[in-house]
Amino acid sequence: MTTIEKNLAEIREKIAGAARRTGRDPREIRIVAVSKKVDPSLMREAITAGQQIFGENYMQEAKEKIITIEEKAQWHFIGHLQSNKAKDAAYFFDAVHTVDRLKLANALNRYAGEAGKNLSVLVQVNVGEEPQKEGVATEDAEELLQSMQGLSNLSIEGLMTMPPFYDDPEKVRPYFRKLRELADDFASRGYFAGAPSFELSMGMSGDFEVAVEEGATLVRIGTSIFGARPAGDE
Ligand SMILES: *Cc1c(COP(=O)(O)O)cnc(C)c1O
């Protein structure tokens, strides 16, 4: 067994445990293997171990890897996305987790149409209201979702967040819960009705079990699968 295979097996086990504790079906939760700065050879190992979805943060690096890796995989963009990179995002990726303004949503919609595809998107919400963080403010999220409703080449599947950082995952729980409650409220009023699935992207290496307990369907995990990244790359 390779280290990556072992890491993935352990993570799946923990996800299943967290799901069972809260009466969820573990199959509702998918791992997004965060592969920024990770060598394609290690990503292939993950694919061999059954990993299907990769999350990338940097467009140039991602494009090179998407071209290099011929094995079947799904690609999710999870980094800050400038509108001038929307075309690449629409052409190269299956999903974008970080839509936080209408200008970006419009650009993604236009290029998804051009590429002849339906692009899955999540709206990133800054539930911690941290000034330095990306994401639409909680109070502005509904307005953004509303103005995105007519964008016919986007499949608006749910919400994503990067909560404030704490060593203790229990301190992050309230932010995960806040995102889930917000998403449930929007869902109950039909905002995600046009999408084939409902997704909540939250939880990383240090706190994914808590995120699953709070309703995550996509957990974005890098370090616990691939090991520590080179310093200074966040
Ligand atoms: C890097 C990154 C992750 C993964 O972080 P780990 O702590 O390595 O699991 C998840 N989400 C986003 C948006 C990231 O940039």
Distance from Cα 220 to the centre of ligand 1, integer Å: 6
What's the rounded Cα separation, in Å, for the pair 163 and 5?
Answer: 28
- Among residues 184, 116, 123, 181, which one has the least CA distance to residue 149? 123
List b or e across 116-125, with b for residues whose CB sees 16 or more CB atoms inside 10 angstroms. Answer: eebbbbbbbb
Distance from Cα 57 to the centre of ligand 1, integer Å: 9
What's the rounded Cα separation, in Å, for the pair 234 and 229?
Answer: 9
**How far is Cα of residue 83 from the mean position of the Cα atoms in its chain?**
18
Q: Which residues contact 73 (CB under 8 A, 6 or more apart)?
A: 43, 47, 51, 52, 53, 54
Is the CB of 135 inside a 6 Å radius of any atom of ligand 1?
Answer: no
Report the atom number in ligand 1 closest to the C-alpha of 206.
Answer: 7
What's the rounded Cα separation, in Å, for the pair 172 and 168?
Answer: 7
Per-residue model confidence (pLDDT) at position 231: 77
Per-residue model confidence (pLDDT) at position 124: 98
Q: Which residues contact 131 (CB under 8 A, 6 or more apart)?
A: none
In the predicted model, residues of the chain with pLDDT beneath 70 are: 232-234
pLDDT, tens only, 205-234: 999 999 999 999 999 999 999 999 987 655
Report the atom number in ligand 1 closest to the C-alpha of 34.
Answer: 4
Per-residue model confidence (pLDDT) at position 221: 98
Is the CB of 76 inside a 6 Å radius of any atom of ligand 1?
Answer: no
Is the CB of 29 inside a 6 Å radius of any atom of ligand 1?
Answer: no
CA dihedral over 171, 172, 175, 177, signed as positive or negative: negative
Is the CB of 32 inside a 6 Å radius of any atom of ligand 1?
Answer: no
Is the CB of 34 inside a 6 Å radius of any atom of ligand 1?
Answer: yes
Per-residue model confidence (pLDDT) at position 68: 97
Is the CB of 222 inside a 6 Å radius of any atom of ligand 1?
Answer: yes
Per-residue model confidence (pLDDT) at position 230: 84
pTM confidence score: 0.97
